[in-house]
Amino acid sequence: TFRSFMFHHEVSMNAYLRRLAGQYPEITKLEHFGTSFEGRDMLLISGPSSNPDVPKPTIFIDAGIHAREWIAPPAALYIIHQLVENPANAALYQNVDWAIIPCLNPDGYQYTQDEERWWRKTRSVLPNSDCRGTDGNRNFDYYWMHAGASSTPCAETYAGPQAFSEPETVALKDWFFTNNGTVKLYLTFHSFGNLLLYPWGYDRIVPDDVGDLKYLGDLVAEAIYNANKLNSVYMVDTSALGLYEAAGTSADWAKAVGGSALSYTIELPLGSARYAFLNLASEILPIVQETWAGIEVFHSFIEERF
């Protein structure tokens, strides 16, 4: 039931993934792909376990790199739910593999539950500062610190003492390198703003394949809008032109270094909520459902192209 997505602790997400892996061993694979700064298990669910000699194109999705953006993990969990628990979607993993991380920043997520609702960063202890945490979405090593990132440890967009200073971002990078070249679509869920953003984010320039990125983004935006017309009109643009310049993001890294030409940051809707990051409980389900409609379009494109 959907109730199982309204988690209040990061451990509940891991419990859900472990239950699915136990219940559906033929079509799922659970990977303990990293350990957070405070020692939490970072889990990635993929599958079905395919022939590694003939890798399928992979759609990689993460959520929750920013702790307070609570709508992001449920959006990823709902995709996992649809793929694994709804037999009607079995065709979606015949020709395509999925790798999904519902909570990329478990320390920060737990901290927003227990201590500080507006916490954004990781919870790492920093050299020479009493402030804690690095912005994971400034910590990747493509044009690190080039723009829109701070070298001040107490800042919300602190890029870290150096690129890949955080175990959470290193874990993502290592997964990409271990699964060399298989990711054909990278999606990272954030909140909020109804934005489908593609590279580049580090500067106000467009990539060579901007035509593909814009075309596919527009198709997805249309599908999301048509799903339930919850005023979810997405704008589709580059990260820097559609939002602001920021370097060291996962989406830029996934395209430039990780080998996934198609790469999007998805800023999910706030809906009719009145305060930042505080989605109405009644709108969680519509938001994750319309997002799923967009994911189906992403899948069709990947299946046709690769």
Q: Choosing among ligand 0X9, Zn ion, none, which partner's interface includes residue 83 (Cβ < 5 to 8 Å by kind)?
A: none
CA separation, residue 120 to residues 69, 104, 107 (Å): 8, 12, 10
Q: Is 267 a catalytic residue?
A: yes
Of 298, 276, 256, nearest to 140 (Cα)? Answer: 256
Q: In the set 190, 224, 247, 271, which binds Zn ion (CB under 5 A)? A: 190
What is the rounded CA–CA span in Å between residue 289 and residue 292?
5
173 binds Zn ion (CB under 5 A): no
Q: Is 161 exposed, middle or buried, given 0-12, 13-18 or 19+ CB atoms closer than 10 A?
A: middle
To Zn ion, the closest distance from the beta carbon of 1 in angstroms equals: 28
To Zn ion, the closest distance from the beta carbon of 46 in angstroms equals: 23
Give 107 or 267: the residue with its C-beta nearer to ligand 0X9.
267
* 26-85 binders of Zn ion (CB under 5 A): 66, 69
To Zn ion, the closest distance from the beta carbon of 190 in angstroms equals: 3
Q: What is the largest CA-CA distance in the chain?
A: 54
For ligand 0X9, the nearest residue by Cβ is 201
Give 84 or 251: the residue with its C-beta nearer to Zn ion.
251
Contact set with ligand 0X9 (CB under 6 A): 66, 69, 137, 190, 197, 201, 239-240, 243-244, 246, 249, 265, 267
Give 21 or 254: the residue with its C-beta nearer to ligand 0X9.
254
Q: Which of 267, 290, 303, 304 is catalytic?
A: 267
Residues that bind Zn ion (CB under 5 A): 66, 69, 190
Which positions are catalytic? Answer: 267
